[in-house]
């Protein structure tokens, strides 16, 4: 997969994560129906059907290429951005951080930063150190009602910890494009929660990515930078 295709997948994942930042609207009853249309018998409009992210604090775990693109797309929404990265030296970041990240930290700061977050987005690589990194300790440090979004690898999240915090109501919502096992079991108990959104690992798939693969197959060209997961 060439760099242009990789870049499109990266940007697509960033757009997807930003879309999951927008909490789903709360279901509202339809007004009473009269004749061929609807009418409203109440002068009030009822409670807000959505929740704005303006003024919210968002923690990005990890500030790599995708994390940087997520931050760029979130900034216009008036959010405060926190981020973790192992090394913040200038030669490891390909953009000007001024005005993009409000507070930076390393791996040792994640438990402190998460206490401020309304939304956490995980976009880090999966390795021996990061397996289950979003665990009971991490989720317990979250403010009650905060949201968790995972667009990276399913096993970054400790399943039992996530399930228990959803069940207790401490975790306000979960949005994931990746699961602990794929394909995901449609009967998994975690899907019983109304505040869970799951998509089938398609955040990085666009017509440009599919077109690039099709052209390479047609031309008989070898694939590079292929990563096999799950």
Does a structural domain hold residue 106? yes
Q: Residue 71 contacts by C-beta under 8 Å, 6 or more apart in sequence?
A: 60, 63, 81, 83, 100, 101
pLDDT tens for 113-149 read 999 999 999 999 999 999 999 999 999 999 999 999 9
Secondary element (H or E) of residue 178: none
pLDDT tens for 153-176 read 999 999 999 999 999 999 999 999
- Cβ pair 31, 37 in contact under 8 A: no
Q: Which of 6-15, 101-110, 157-166 has the lowest mean pLDDT?
A: 6-15
Per the listing, tokens 């905060």 go with 146
Catalytic residue among 9, 18, 165, 201: 201
3-state secondary structure of 133: coil
Question: Active-site residue 182, yes or no?
Answer: yes
Catalytic residue among 26, 86, 112, 182: 182
Question: Active-site residue 33, yes or no?
Answer: no
Does a structural domain hold residue 32? no
Secondary element (H or E) of residue 218: helix 207-219
pLDDT of 81 above 80: yes
Percent of the chain surpassing pLDDT 90: 53
Question: Active-site residue 201, yes or no?
Answer: yes
Which residues span the domain enclosing 60?
A: 10-23+50-204
Catalytic residue among 18, 153, 155, 165: 153
CATH number at residue 56: 3.40.50.720
- Structural domain count of the chain: 1
pLDDT of 60 above 60: yes
C-alpha to C-alpha distance for 38 and 31, rounded to whole angstroms: 6
Q: Against a cut of 0.85, is the pTM above it?
A: no
Does a structural domain hold residue 227? no
Does a structural domain hold residue 128? yes
Does a structural domain hold residue 31? no
């Amino acid at each position: 997969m060439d760099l242009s295709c990789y870049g499109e997948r990266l940007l697509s994942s960033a757009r997807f994560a930003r879309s999951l930042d927008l909490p789903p609207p709360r279901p509202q009853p339809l007004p009473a129906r009269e004749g061929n249309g609807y009418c409203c018998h109440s002068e009030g409009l009822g409670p807000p059907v959505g929740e704005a992210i303006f003024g919210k604090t968002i923690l990005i775990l990890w500030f790599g290429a995708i994390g940087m693109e997520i931050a760029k797309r979130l900034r216009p929404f008036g959010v405060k951005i926190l981020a973790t990265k192992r090394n913040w030296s200038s030669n490891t970041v390909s953009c000007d951080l001024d005005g993009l990240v409000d507070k930076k930290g390393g791996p040792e700061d994640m438990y402190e930063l998460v206490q401020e977050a309304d939304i956490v987005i995980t976009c880090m690589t999966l390795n021996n150190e990061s397996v289950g990194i979003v665990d009971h300790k991490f989720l317990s440090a979250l403010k009650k009602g905060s949201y968790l979004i995972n667009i990276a690898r399913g096993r970054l999240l400790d399943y039992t910890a996530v399930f228990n915090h959803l069940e207790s109501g401490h975790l306000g919502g979960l949005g994931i494009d990746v699961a602990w096992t794929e394909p995901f079991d449609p009967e998994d108990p975690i899907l019983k929660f109304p505040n869970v959104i799951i998509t089938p690992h398609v955040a990085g798939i666009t017509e440009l990515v599919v077109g690039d693969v099709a052209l390479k197959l047609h031309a008989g060209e070898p694939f590079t930078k292929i990563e096999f997961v799950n």
